């Protein structure tokens, strides 16, 4: 599998704070990853982890402050609008809000054919609308509807139809199941899986929902404060998380089973702000296993395909040391 | 928008006209809205069909018929030159309405364009334009009118220019604020991520979402424009005599208000009725289209 | 002892296109010190149910049948003033968006003092009580936190402040409307644990509305499954989650990706969509999407009890 997207040392910095004391901070603080052709790569993290900023930076919507992004062998970071335009044909992006990412005064037909107009592709709009709507499982009658007349699931399908309109090689999907009912989430994931196989698409899926990843991603990265704390094949990570944060995330997704034993890794306190990063391992302030070394020395992520930035990676079935549970 | 509609024949066209019809029905269902519709329709009808509705030439002087009171022949009586006031009021309506519509349309076009540039453009340009808008706004309308008339002489053009100068900063500010928030919305990001350029984003994604509330606001501004035209003509800064204008009729009537009050009434009544009509219409439109206000007293 | 008993509740909204029946024959009970979860997808009537209980239905909505008994009083018959007196000390609410419940321009301490306006305590005693409740929801440095404004707290902390404010009134019933949906997973479970602990301390009942099956399974004693404005199944959490008897509940559980630990090529879904509430079918509301549909589904379905406390609105549900 050859590499389609190559991200190296990517950093995104913002300035924030009161007007006279603006400080620079890194929302994304140096990440490296590759996405192969036809591969699905998942970025997992909680709010503030920088996952959406990372996706926008890869897509060129957000200027980067260091590092490089290469798509299909071509450096695309820092490309201007005109030079970036052909890249955007091959790399489409889906945004979080299913309805909010559709222009409210345009009909579904206009929305799904907009990519053709933007890139001046000669196509019969009506035929393309019908083709795309049927690909995403919507009736052709939807072409005349406006976004506010769609349910979340239908709007998401329209978003998918726009994303695949010009046969891209990569789709970046930010929380593709956010705001959807459980029974509809499955539909959207099935649709993405199906299209991926049919069109040989590579995907980057950004989500906080681990259950989603389990069913769609080949490889995944767990983000914390703008860095990857663990990367690797998703099946391996689900079977035996090596980083305590990954383990905590995995245990924090309650399953609909009232009899299941609830041994959960609860994390004390809330995540620190990227404006005030802790010393040493940045997770040590919340880590149930933290030792003295963790507070002083930053761990490096070592290894090949499977990496965890932790001084004391967990073995299979690791339990947290006994400690009273706090928020 | 129309550009998109022409790309995809049929799509969205029917819903638009159907929606328009439904909007009119919704406005007509409100008592004030219905009254506003009737008043505005009557004024427009009167101005358009002025020649059919009255047998008298608005400017024909008839010294024998000076200062006649209202009668079946002269519905609103005659003025100091024996001209039929009803005819002058109807023809004055043409001036009032065309000035109002023309200057509002020009203000809208310029206001939207400037607002889009300020809202979507770079920060320094935005700041510069805000400064410009505020400077224009800080000029009192009457002073502005006097200054312009001194430069160009009293004319309809002067009236239009004054109205445009007065209206543009307000419209531009509203468009700018809406553009700033729309700029951050996901559908604009989505368009950018597809490779859409700035012009396309402004045309297809920003403008249609900015224009709706502005049209309602403009319909509420029309009475103000009519009052400005009447006011300037009253002061002799607007249309030149003998062109019929409500403000000019009012001025004529004002001179003889003790003996022949109907002239002032003939000039004042249409101003009041049109102002009320457009205000009711505008307010009902706002209530009908702003869901946040629905259900409030 | 039952704190809240809803019996045969019908709620309609009059719209331009005719009447919309938002709730039909809804019955459920919240026992004293019990936690009852209401689950369902969008359009199932969860929000209407809460608004009906709180007497906050929109102007075009009306209760046209049934009763809502709260500590023996029928809330559908209370005057607006009586209902207002009940909200807060009788029934407190925590919403999905904590920002909506907190006034951004007032300090937390001021807001917590204000909601104690019925109490005879003095100002410093009220503040002490506020601080104590902030400590109970584990806000660090509670006394200092009183002086801060809502925007100085993170999302999870704001939700905990909202919980503290709701519980400070010592209500007999707490209505929690998707209180953890806006929170991250690690915070979500922590907030659930906290809610459960506080409920035990204070001894109130909780009506917990959520679309998150895992959270409901974890927190609730009893579960009510709603679909298209009807209660299709209710029972203890164990009964509903382990042996769902209504096809909708069974499918909903199957759809939850959390139920499948191994990678699935195709995730189960429920084809079709919720019926238009203006054109409800005569018979079973779920029949249009039900894989087990038979002719008998065209007849209206009544509640059918399988075992004590467990009922489903489906003629296929059998006892045992």
Residue B10 lies in a domain: no
Mean pLDDT of C175-193: 84
d(CA B133, CA A72): 48
* Per-residue pLDDT tens digits for B129-176: 999 999 888 888 778 888 888 888 888 888 888 889 888 999 999 999
* Per-residue pLDDT tens digits for A16-29: 877 777 888 899 99
Over 90: is that where the pLDDT of A65 sits? yes
- pLDDT the model gives residue B3: 36
Query: How crowded is the C-beta side of C240, counted as CA atoms within 13 Å?
Result: 33
Q: Annotate B117-184 with DSSP letters as a single string.
A: HHHHS-HHHHHHHHHHHHHHHHS-HHHHHHHHHHHH-SSHHHHHHHHHHHHHHHHHHHHHHHHHHHHT
Query: Nearest-5° angle of CA B265, CA B271, CA B274?
Result: 130
Q: Among B106-120, B255-269, C293-307, whose mean pLDDT is lowest?
A: B255-269
Percentages helix, strand, coil for chain B (3-state, rounded to 5) are 75, 0, 25
Neighbours of chain B (3+ CB pairs under 8 A): A
What Å distances lie between residue A140 and A108, A115, A143, B70, CA to CA? 10, 18, 6, 65
* Per-residue pLDDT tens digits for B167-183: 899 999 999 999 999 99
Query: How crowded is the C-beta side of A265, counted as CA atoms within 13 Å?
Result: 20
d(CA A86, CA A91): 9
Residue C317 vs residue C223, higher pLDDT: C223
- pLDDT the model gives residue B6: 33
Residue B1 lies in a domain: no
Residues of A in contact with C217 (CB under 8 A): 254-258
- pLDDT the model gives residue B296: 36
Picking from A151, A254, A270, the nearest residue to C218 by CB comes out as A254
Whether B101 contacts B122, CB under 8 Å = no
Number of domain units in chain B: 1
* Per-residue pLDDT tens digits for A173-194: 999 988 788 888 888 889 888 8
Domain that holds residue B177: 17-293
- pLDDT the model gives residue B245: 81
Show contacts of C122-129: CB within 8 Å, 24+ apart: C129/C168
Over 80: is that where the pLDDT of C257 sits? no
Residue B147 lies in a domain: yes
Average confidence score pLDDT of chain B? 81
Provide the H-helix boundaries in B8-84: 13-29, 31-48, 50-53
Over 60: is that where the pLDDT of B293 sits? no
Q: Among B279-283, C104-108, C161-165, whose mean pLDDT is lowest?
A: B279-283
Picking from A46, A190, A258, the nearest residue to C217 by CB comes out as A258
Whether A64 contacts A55, CB under 8 Å = no
- pLDDT the model gives residue B13: 39
Interchain contact, C266 vs A212, CB within 8 Å:
no
- pLDDT the model gives residue A123: 87
- pLDDT the model gives residue A317: 61
Task: Report the b/e string of C265-295 with b at 16+ CB within 10 A.
Answer: eebbbbeeebbebeeeeebbbbbbbbeebee
Whether A173 contacts A206, CB under 8 Å = yes
Interchain contact, A113 vs B193, CB within 8 Å:
no
Over 90: is that where the pLDDT of B201 sits? yes
Chain B nearest-CA residue for A93: B193
Interchain contact, A104 vs B204, CB within 8 Å:
no
Number of inter-chain CB pairs under 8 A, A vs C: 126
* Per-residue pLDDT tens digits for B68-103: 777 777 777 777 777 888 888 888 888 888 888 899
What Å distances lie between residue B147 and A29, B161, B166, C16, CA to CA? 60, 11, 13, 54
Average confidence score pLDDT of chain A? 88
- pLDDT the model gives residue A322: 56
Query: How crowded is the C-beta side of B238, counted as CA atoms within 13 Å?
Result: 31
CATH number at residue B245: 1.10.3720.10
Highest mean pLDDT of the ranges A257-261, A274-278, B236-240: A274-278
- pLDDT the model gives residue B97: 86
- Chain A stretch 161-180, residues whose beta carbon is closer than 8 A to a beta carbon of chain C: none
Mean pLDDT of A62-69: 94
Extract the tokens encoding A180: 């959807």
Mean pLDDT of A84-107: 92
> pLDDT tier at C155 (50, 70, 90 boundaries)?
confident
**Predicted TM-score of the model (pTM):** 0.83
Residue B11 lies in a domain: no
Of the candidates B144, B175, B178, B140, the one whose C-alpha atom is nearest the C-alpha of residue B161 is B144
* Å between C94 CA and nearest CA of chain A: 19
* Per-residue pLDDT tens digits for C14-24: 887 778 889 99
Interchain contact, A89 vs B195, CB within 8 Å:
yes
- Chain C stretch 77-136, residues whose beta carbon is closer than 8 A to a beta carbon of chain A: none
Picking from B8, B14, B195, the nearest residue to A109 by CB comes out as B8
Q: Annotate A74-138 with DSSP letters as a single string.
A: EE-TT--HHHHHHHHHHEEEE-S-TTTTS-TTS-HHHHHHHHHHHTT----HHHHHHHHHHHTT-
Residue B57 vs residue C235, higher pLDDT: C235
Query: Nearest-5° angle of CA C255, CA C256, CA C258?
Result: 140
Extract the tokens encoding A57: 């930076």
Whether A116 contacts B12, CB under 8 Å = no
Alpha-carbon dihedral sign for residues C160, C161, C163, C168: positive
* Å between A41 CA and nearest CA of chain C: 15
Mean pLDDT of B25-32: 82
- What percent of chain B shows pLDDT beyond 90? 23
d(CA A283, CA A152): 36
Residue B253 lies in a domain: yes
As to burial, measured by CB atoms within 10 angstroms (0-12 exposed, 13-18 middle, 19+ buried), residue A255 is: middle
- pLDDT the model gives residue A1: 62
- pLDDT the model gives residue B141: 77
d(CA A253, CA A242): 17
Interchain contact, A103 vs B204, CB within 8 Å:
yes
Residue B151 lies in a domain: yes
Chain B nearest-CA residue for A103: B187
* Å between A100 CA and nearest CA of chain C: 17
Over 70: is that where the pLDDT of B1 sits? no
Extract the tokens encoding C197: 């602990």
- pLDDT the model gives residue A316: 61
Q: Has the ipTM of the complex gone over 0.90?
A: no
Q: What is the CATH number of domain C30-62+78-90+175-319?
A: 3.40.50.300
Q: Among A219-223, B56-60, B201-205, whose mean pLDDT is lowest?
A: B56-60
Over 80: is that where the pLDDT of B2 sits? no
Question: Between helices B85-120 and B123-138, what is the axis angle to 10°?
Answer: 150
The domain ranges of chain C are 30-62+78-90+175-319, 98-168
In the beta sheet, which residues pair with residue C1?
none
Q: Which of A138, A152, A182 to mutate to test the interface with C (most CBs of C within 10 A)?
A: A182
Over 90: is that where the pLDDT of C130 sits? yes
Residues of A in contact with B8 (CB under 8 A): 107, 109-110, 113, 125-126, 129, 143
Residue B286 lies in a domain: yes
Picking from B12, B200, B209, the nearest residue to A118 by CB comes out as B200
Over 90: is that where the pLDDT of C220 sits? yes
Residue B5 lies in a domain: no
Extract the tokens encoding A3: 């590499």
> pLDDT tier at A320 (50, 70, 90 boundaries)?
low
Q: Among A101-110, A303-312, B116-125, whose mean pLDDT is lowest?
A: A303-312
Mean pLDDT of B49-59: 79
d(CA B170, CA B107): 10
């Amino acid at each position: 599998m050859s590499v389609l997207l190559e991200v190296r040392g990517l950093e995104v910095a913002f300035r924030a704070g009161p007007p006279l004391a603006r400080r620079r901070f890194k929302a994304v603080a140096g990440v490296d990853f590759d996405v192969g052709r036809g591969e699905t790569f998942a970025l997992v993290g909680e709010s503030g982890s920088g996952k959406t900023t990372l996706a926008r930076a890869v897509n060129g919507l957000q200027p980067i402050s260091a590092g490089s992004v290469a798509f299909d062998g071509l450096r695309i970071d820092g490309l201007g609008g005109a030079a970036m335009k052909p890249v955007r044909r091959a790399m489409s992006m889906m945004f979080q809000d299913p309805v909010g990412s559709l222009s409210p005064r345009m009909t579904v037909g206009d929305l799904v054919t907009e990519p053709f107009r933007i890139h001046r592709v000669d196509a019969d709009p009506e035929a393309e609308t019908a083709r795309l709507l049927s690909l995403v499982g919507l009736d052709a009658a939807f072409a005349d509807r406006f976004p506010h007349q769609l349910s979340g699931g239908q709007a998401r399908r329209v978003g998918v139809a726009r994303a695949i309109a010009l046969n891209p090689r990569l789709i970046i999907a930010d929380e593709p199941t956010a705001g959807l009912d459980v029974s509809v989430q499955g539909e959207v994931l099935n649709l993405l899986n199906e299209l991926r196989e049919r069109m040989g698409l590579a995907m980057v899926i950004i989500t906080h929902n681990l259950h989603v990843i389990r069913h769609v991603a080949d490889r995944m990265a767990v983000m914390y404060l703008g860095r990857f704390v663990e990367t690797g094949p998703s099946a391996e990570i689900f079977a035996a998380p090596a980083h305590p944060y990954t383990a905590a995330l995995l245990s924090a997704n309650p399953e609909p089973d009232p009899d299941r034993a609830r041994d959960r890794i609860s994390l004390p306190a809330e995540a620190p702000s990227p404006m005030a990063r802790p010393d040493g391992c940045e997770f040590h302030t919340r880590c149930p296993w933290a030792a003295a070394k963790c507070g002083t020395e930053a761990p490096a992520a070592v290894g090949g395909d499977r990496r965890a930035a932790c001084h004391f990676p967990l073995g299979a079935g690791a339990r947290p040391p006994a400690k009273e549970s706090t928020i | 928008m129309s550009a998109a509609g022409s790309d995809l024949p049929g799509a969205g066209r029917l819903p638009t006209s159907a929606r328009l019809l439904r909007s009119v029905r919704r406005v007509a269902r409100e008592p004030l809205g219905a009254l506003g519709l009737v008043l505005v329709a009557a004024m427009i009808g009167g101005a358009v069909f002025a020649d059919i509705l009255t047998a008298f030439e608005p400017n024909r002087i008839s010294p024998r018929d000076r200062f006649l009171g209202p009668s079946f022949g002269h519905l609103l009586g005659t003025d100091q030159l024996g001209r039929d006031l009803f005819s002058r009021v109807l023809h004055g309506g043409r001036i009032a309405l065309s000035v109002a519509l023309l200057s509002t349309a020009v203000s809208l076009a310029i206001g939207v364009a400037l607002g889009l540039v300020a809202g979507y453009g770079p920060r320094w340009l935005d700041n510069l334009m805000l400064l410009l808008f505020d400077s224009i706004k800080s000029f009192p309308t009457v002073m502005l009118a006097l200054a312009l008339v001194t430069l160009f002489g009293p004319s309809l053009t002067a009236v239009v220019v004054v109205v445009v100068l007065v209206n543009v900063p307000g419209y531009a500010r509203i468009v700018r604020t809406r553009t700033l928030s729309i700029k951050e919305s996901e559908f604009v990001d989505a368009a950018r991520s597809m490779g859409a350029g700035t012009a396309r984003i402004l045309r297809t994604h920003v403008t249609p979402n900015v224009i709706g509330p502005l049209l309602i606001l403009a319909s509420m501004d029309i009475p103000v424009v009519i009052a400005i035209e009447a006011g300037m003509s009253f002061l002799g800064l607007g249309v030149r005599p003998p062109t019929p204008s409500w403000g000019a009729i009012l001025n004529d009537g004002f001179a003889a208000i003790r003996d022949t009050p109907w002239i002032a009434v003939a000039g004042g009544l249409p101003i009041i009725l049109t102002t009320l009509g457009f205000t009711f219409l505008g307010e009902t439109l706002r209530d009908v289209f702003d869901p946040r206000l629905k259900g409030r007293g | 002892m039952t704190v809240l008993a809803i019996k045969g509740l019908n709620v309609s909204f009059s719209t331009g296109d005719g009447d919309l029946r938002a709730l039909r024959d809804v019955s459920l009970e919240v026992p004293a010190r019990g936690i009852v979860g209401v689950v369902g997808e969008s359009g199932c009537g969860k929000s209407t149910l809460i608004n009906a209980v709180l007497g906050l239905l929109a102007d075009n909505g009306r209760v046209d049948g049934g009763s809502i008994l709260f500590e023996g009083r029928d809330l559908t018959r209370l005057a607006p003033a009586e209902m207002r007196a009940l909200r807060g000390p009788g029934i407190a609410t925590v919403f999905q968006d904590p920002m909506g419940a907190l006034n951004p321009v007032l300090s937390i301490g001021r807001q917590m003092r204000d909601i104690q306006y019925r109490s005879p305590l003095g100002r410093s005693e009220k503040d002490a009580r506020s601080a104590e409740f902030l400590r109970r929801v584990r806000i660090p440095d509670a006394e200092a936190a009183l002086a801060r404004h809502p925007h100085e707290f993170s999302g999870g902390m704001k939700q905990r402040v909202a919980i503290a404010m709701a519980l400070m009134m010592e209500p007999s019933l707490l209505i929690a409307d998707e209180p953890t949906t806006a929170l991250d997973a690690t915070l979500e479970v922590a907030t659930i644990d906290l809610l459960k602990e506080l409920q035990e301390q204070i001894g109130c009942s909780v009506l917990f509305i959520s679309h998150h099956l895992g959270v409901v399974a974890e927190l609730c004693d009893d579960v009510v499954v709603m679909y298209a404005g009807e209660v299709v199944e209710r029972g203890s959490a164990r009964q509903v989650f382990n042996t769902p008897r209504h096809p909708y509940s069974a499918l909903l559980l199957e759809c939850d990706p959390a139920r499948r630990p191994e990678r699935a090529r195709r995730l189960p879904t429920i084809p079709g969509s919720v019926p238009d509430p203006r054109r409800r079918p005569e018979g079973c509301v779920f029949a249009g999407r039900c894989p087990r549909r038979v002719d008998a589904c065209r007849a209206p379905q009544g509640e059918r009890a399988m075992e004590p406390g467990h009922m489903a609105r489906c003629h296929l549900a059998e006892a045992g």
